[in-house]
A = this chain, B = another copy of it.
Amino acid sequence: MIYITRRERFNAAHKLFRPEWTDEQNLEVFGKCSNPNWHGHNYELYVTVKGQINPETGFVIDLKELKTIIKTHVTDALDHKNINLDVNFMKDKMASTEVLAVAIFEQLKPLIDAQNAALHSIKLYETENNFVEYFG
């Protein structure tokens, strides 16, 4: 078993808030992340796939195909978008890094597992100081 990781990036806006709470409650729990007019990040996404090495190609998975899957099903939906408003797979969810990492994992899992390989993990950086990892 060997693990290969592809890094992709997307730039998006979001805020952390619960619509049923007052602005004061949102500010108390989410701090400056609750700014009503949004803020944003350069997200870095690491997608790790595991499998056996194909003896003919030396590959676990063709990185060109992996790149296309991530772009088509994840980063095109997120890049230069508002995570709370514009992204189908984040509808009615909290736009936290944790919830976003799980949603990306669920988007990619069936698509990558159909490639003779398996999705191992998602690692998602919100800033250079904070990141989340999810293994399913």
Contact = CB atoms under 8 A, between A and B. Distances in A.
Which applies to chain A's interface (DSSP): helix, strand, loop or mixed?
mixed
Interface residues of A, number: 60
A97 B127 contact: no
Q: How many copies does the complex hold?
A: 6
Contact of A2 (B64, B101, B130): B101
A13 interface: yes
Nearest to A79: B32
Interface string A22-34: 0000000111110
Contact of A37 (B63, B64, B86): B86
Contacts of A133: 2-5, 48
20 contacts: A2-B132, A2-B134, A4-B97, A4-B98, A4-B132, A5-B131, A5-B132, A6-B129, A7-B129, A7-B130, A8-B129, A9-B128, A30-B57, A35-B80, A39-B79, A39-B80, A41-B41, A53-B99, A58-B94, A60-B132
